[in-house]
Amino acid sequence: MQSFRTELENPLVEKDIIDLEKKIKAFHEGKIHDEKFRSLRLARGVYGQRQVGVQMVRIKLPFGKVTFKQILKIADVSDEYASSNLHLTTRQDIQIHYVSLDRTPQLWEQLEQDDITLREACGNTVRNVTASPTAGIDPAEPFDVSPYAQTFFEYFLRNPICQEMGRKIKFSFSSSEADTAFSFIHDLGFIPKVKQENGEEIRGFKVVLGGGLGAQPSLAHVVYEFLHEDLIIPFAESVLRVFDRNGERNNRNKARLKFLVNKIGLDEVMRLVAEEQIANKSKTFKINRNSLTQPQIPKAKIETLAIPKEKKLAYDLWTATNTFEQKQDNFYGVYIKVQTGDIPTGQARKLVAAIKDLVADEIRITINQGLLLKFVKPEALPNLFLALDKLNLATPGFDSVADVTTCPGTDTCNLGISNSMELSRVLESVIYNEYPDFIEDKEIKIKISGCMNSCGQHGLAHIGFHGSSMKVNGKVMPSVQVLLGGGIVGNGVGRVADKVLKVPSKRAPHVLRAILDDYKMKADFYQNFHTYYDELGKDYFYQLLKPIADQSDIKDDEFVDWGHEETFVTAIGVGECAGVVIDLVATLIYESEEKFGWANEAYDDKAWADAIYHTYNTMVSGAKALLLDKGVNQSTQTGVIKAFDEHFAAEFNIPSFNDLVLQINQNEPSSAFAEVYLAEANDFLTKVKAFRPNPELA
């Protein structure tokens, strides 16, 4: 691997990239175990693909904000290092695929030149902070949540408390009670609120905690109806500290915050959160409401183009479904529907060239894998439509029944069971060709995932599908699980879809037709789709769809998945979204030394809270190493601390390892405490290494 050195202005970023290069080299030389290296690269946005020898690189874009220049840079990088495609995700990221591992440091360096990061886009970290794409221009918003989402991104990036958790953490900020950022499926979700005190407007947030999708969906719990804006960062920090210490670390299927809530109860979680507040870096944190630069709005006058007669109906439908009036007078927001979230790099460049004089220099990636353009003048709408139409990007029906959300499925994902991408295209075709009256229906959402893990958000869909398989006549057949009745209720309340039945994948269009036909006949009797589903009941829909699932008339082509020519086989790899558990004694001791080095660096920089947390992790890693060496495996840091007292306290001549380590949440993060805590950790680490002298990495 050819070595390089960056020339970036940010020394932290430069250190990140050089460190990745060193870790890749050490991995190739066999000095870092494969599992440990996997966790290292995931935290740097590098994710293994289904295809052997190449990586998916996830680009972290807080709340989906991206400029023209950044889009062009990502397109250039995709051309040079990847497959000349940009994939928009439901987390408002951009992913590029088929990247060589050895080239990821150079790729990262090029992106950082335009303030684009990969850091903590994957792995057991705080993932991309999402927000309603309309934040800042939403007519219904109490205030713009964008600066709050940006501050969360900055505060927790590289923060020691969330670098190696049991699993990932997801935050969201909705712009209004419409809750278009889906707070109810997040570890922490925030909905803006205002109240009046002594004639002054006070900002705060409704806060929900412990939501999540995946194979076992859970709806978030309301923990605050109103939390002052200065307290949301400290509260989130305390939650992460509790999750880091008490969250499951061995069984990845039980390692999300929602499972900790289920295990010990919401009241106990909140009690532990309150205990952590003394150790927080900040007791209050005032967020700069003006931290974001406002996008440059086109000032040049334009001559409005006439819509050709043959395009008039298409233009009217497009304006009805893909545009809305902003809260700013005389401006429109315009949505671009992006099928399967994929934009070839050539099309991306043409898009920027076509719109740069018509819209503000700030694009938002939407949570349903589209794009939002901002500050479009009314007289520019015809020009914008015609420009987008030339690029095949003026498809109507954004966020309607015809706008199907999907994950990559078996195209690139290790966990994909069936082809969700092609199925989404097929279902959209059914809507456009057979149900044109539904193109304007923005109530019903269709979402597809390639497996049960809900990256395509099928668990919150009105009509959802996830990839599966079934045995028919002794052969394996691609199938989909049909789910119904999920969705947003509003103000932090949501619904998880019910599993109804499983059908062959090739019959998914028949399922869609049956539901839409039935709903069309009965819609006048019900307030909305949710009422329709609730009043008729799950068994009604099971009986409605049961004939479609009948296996007595299976055809040979149903053993072939969408978009394929060969007979279906299940080929599931090892998932990487949650990272892995490392149970290697020598590696853990090595990690302890590395973390102690970080603790000293933070202390020298007078970052007391960071130094203290690195020190805490030094001791926990060292303790876990010796416990594993003795055959004692604990699934939480709390378990490690208690077990170490039981097995090693006497040998280490310490009254209580628990009391030693948990000084962290009983002291303010001061220089005095950091100095004492570091000295105690140094003594402890010396004793740990004495048990395993000169450890060699596995």
337 and 449 inside one domain: no
444 and 554 inside one domain: yes
- What is the reported pLDDT for 586? 75
- What is the reported pLDDT for 40? 76
Ramachandran region, residue 206 (left: φ > 0; alpha: ψ -120 to 50; beta: rest): beta
480 and 385 inside one domain: no
46: domain CATH number is 3.90.480.20
| Contact residues for 533 (Cβ-Cβ < 8 A; gap 6+) | 462, 484, 485, 541
| Contact residues for 592 (Cβ-Cβ < 8 A; gap 6+) | 618, 619, 621, 622, 625, 685, 688
Tell me the H-state helices in 653-670.
657-661
- What is the reported pLDDT for 563? 84
Stretches where the chain sits below pLDDT 70 are: 1-9, 35, 414, 567-584, 692-698
Contact status, residue 458 vs residue 465, Cβ threshold 8 Å: yes
In a domain, 568, yes or no: no
In a domain, 300, yes or no: no
Dist CA 158 CA 51 (whole Å)? 30
Contact status, residue 454 vs residue 540, Cβ threshold 8 Å: no
- What is the reported pLDDT for 1? 46
| Contact residues for 294 (Cβ-Cβ < 8 A; gap 6+) | none
- What is the reported pLDDT for 579? 41
- What is the reported pLDDT for 580? 39
Domain boundary among 509, 541, 559: 559
269 and 320 inside one domain: no
Contact status, residue 589 vs residue 541, Cβ threshold 8 Å: no
Contact status, residue 281 vs residue 669, Cβ threshold 8 Å: yes
- What is the reported pLDDT for 576? 54
H helix count then E strand count, the chain: 20, 22
> 49-78 b/e with 16+ CB inside 10 Å = b?
bbeeebbbbbbbbbbbbbbbebbbbbbebb
Contact status, residue 388 vs residue 340, Cβ threshold 8 Å: no
443 and 550 inside one domain: yes
In a domain, 570, yes or no: no
In a domain, 298, yes or no: no
245 and 322 inside one domain: no
Dist CA 60 CA 63 (whole Å)? 9
Dist CA 278 CA 272 (whole Å)? 11
534 and 428 inside one domain: yes
The gap from C-alpha 664 to its chain's centroid, in whole angstroms, comes to 30
DSSP-derived secondary structure letter, 169: B
475 and 601 inside one domain: no
Domain boundary among 335, 357, 390: 390
Contact status, residue 220 vs residue 208, Cβ threshold 8 Å: yes
420 and 375 inside one domain: no
Amino acid at 443: E
42 and 101 inside one domain: yes
Domain boundary among 524, 559, 594: 559
Domain count, the chain: 5
Nearest by Cα to 365 from 86, 55, 45, 44: 86
272 and 204 inside one domain: yes
- What is the reported pLDDT for 46? 87
In a domain, 637, yes or no: yes
DSSP-derived secondary structure letter, 677: H
- What is the reported pLDDT for 31? 74
The gap from C-alpha 497 to its chain's centroid, in whole angstroms, comes to 20
Q: ∠ CA(185), CA(189), CA(191), 5° rounding?
A: 125
- What is the reported pLDDT for 219? 97
- What is the reported pLDDT for 569? 61
461 and 550 inside one domain: yes
434: domain CATH number is 3.30.413.10
In a domain, 168, yes or no: yes
Domain of 589 in residue numbering reads as: 585-691
Dist CA 529 CA 522 (whole Å)? 10
598: domain CATH number is 1.20.120.330
Question: Which tens digits make up the pLDDT trace of 447-472?
Answer: 999 888 888 899 999 999 999 989 99
Q: Which two tokens stand for residue 430?
A: 């059914």
In a domain, 595, yes or no: yes
In a domain, 519, yes or no: yes
SS3 545: helix
End-to-end CA distance of the chain: 22
SS3 336: strand
Q: Across 288-438, where does the E strand assignment appear? A: 323-325, 332-336, 342-344, 363-365, 371-376, 405-406
